[in-house]
Amino acid sequence: MKLNSVRMSRPAAFIGIFASVLLLLNVLLLFRISGLQTQNKIWKTKGVLNLAEQRALVEHGLEGEYLGDEIELLRREGFRLLDDHVSKLTLLYSFTITCDRCLNMEMDIYQTNASMLDETHVTPLMVFGNIDQLLFDRIVRSFGIKEFSIRDKEEVLIKKFSKLTTPIILLINSNGRILAAHISDYFDRAKSQRFYEKVFNIASRT
């Protein structure tokens, strides 16, 4: 075989290099397009509500809702604490033990406001779901909330609010109607305090 039989001709080599440069440019263009697509996705999500806005929407949706059936179910579980509920406003805490930080924070804020709740005749009732008896006993003892805490074995409130894994606090009237709702956010302590101010406002008007 002759050596020059495997050598490229000059125009062919030129076309080859030109084609490779062209292809490289195409690829760069593709990268640019994919970058633009990502940016486009970000712009699209601008229309989606952030977590705080979603929480506010759920809270607003809960207000006015009837919780009498759940209260009746809890009463049937044998919680005598609910007997006092008929004549008073109740601040119902639903704790699913999924976030220690959230529970700790809400307890801290509760302790700050406990005396004010007492003055405005709002009865606290703390319902714990997703928890075994031993841990429940230890938690209520260490927070000093034994007198008004119950362990919801049937998970009545979890079934009702299964989509919400963070603590929920609800102000309910004697008819079982939710007057105000709060979903805990451990990045925003002030939000919890604002909720208590709302509770005191409602309580002082009724």
Partner 1 sequence: MYKSRGIISGYFAAFLSVFLIAQFSCDRKTAPSGAESANKKYLSLREGSGSKFGDYFSAGRKIALDLKDEIQIGPKPSIGALSRRGEFIILDSFGVRQILVFDTNGIYKTRIGSQGTGEGQYLYPDNMFLDQKTGRVYVSDGDLLRILEYDEDYRYLSEIALPVYIEQLLVTKEGRFFCFTSGSAGPDGADRVVYEFDRTGRIKNSFLRMPKTFVPAAEAKGGGMVHINDMFYIITPYEYTINRCNASGKVTAQVRIKTPFYTEMKMYADKKVETDLNERKRYHSTWSHIWWIINIGKDCLGVVYNEAGTKRYYLDIFTSDLDIIAHSILLPNLIATPHAIHTAGNDLYWLEYINSDGIENIAIAKYSFRYLHNSPMPVREEVETQ
Residues that bind partner 1 (CB under 8 A): 7-9, 11-13, 15-21, 23-24, 27, 31, 96, 98, 100-101, 103-105, 108, 130, 135, 138-139, 141-143, 155, 158, 162-165, 186, 189
Shortest CB 100 distance to partner 1, Å:
5
Shortest CB 64 distance to partner 1, Å:
22
Q: How many CA atoms lie within 13 A of 41 on its CB side?
A: 6
Q: How many C-beta atoms surround the C-beta of residue 45 within 10 A?
A: 9
Shortest CB 11 distance to partner 1, Å:
7
Distance CA 17, CA 23 (A): 10
Helix, strand or coil, per DSSP, at residue 188? coil
- Helix residue ranges, H only, the chain: 10-45, 51-62, 68-76, 100-119, 133-143, 156-160, 189-205
Q: Which residues pair with 91 in a beta bridge?
A: 124, 171
Distance CA 181, CA 91 (A): 10
Closer to partner 1 by Cβ: residue 42 or 47: 42
The answer to whether residues 45 and 156 touch, using CB atoms and an 8 Å cutoff, is no
**C-alpha 34, offset from chain centre:** 33
Shortest CB 155 distance to partner 1, Å:
8
Shortest CB 206 distance to partner 1, Å:
32
DSSP sequence for 11-22: HHHHHHHHHHHH
Shortest CB 90 distance to partner 1, Å:
23
Closer to partner 1 by Cβ: residue 161 or 195: 161
Q: Which residues pair with 94 in a beta bridge?
A: 127, 168
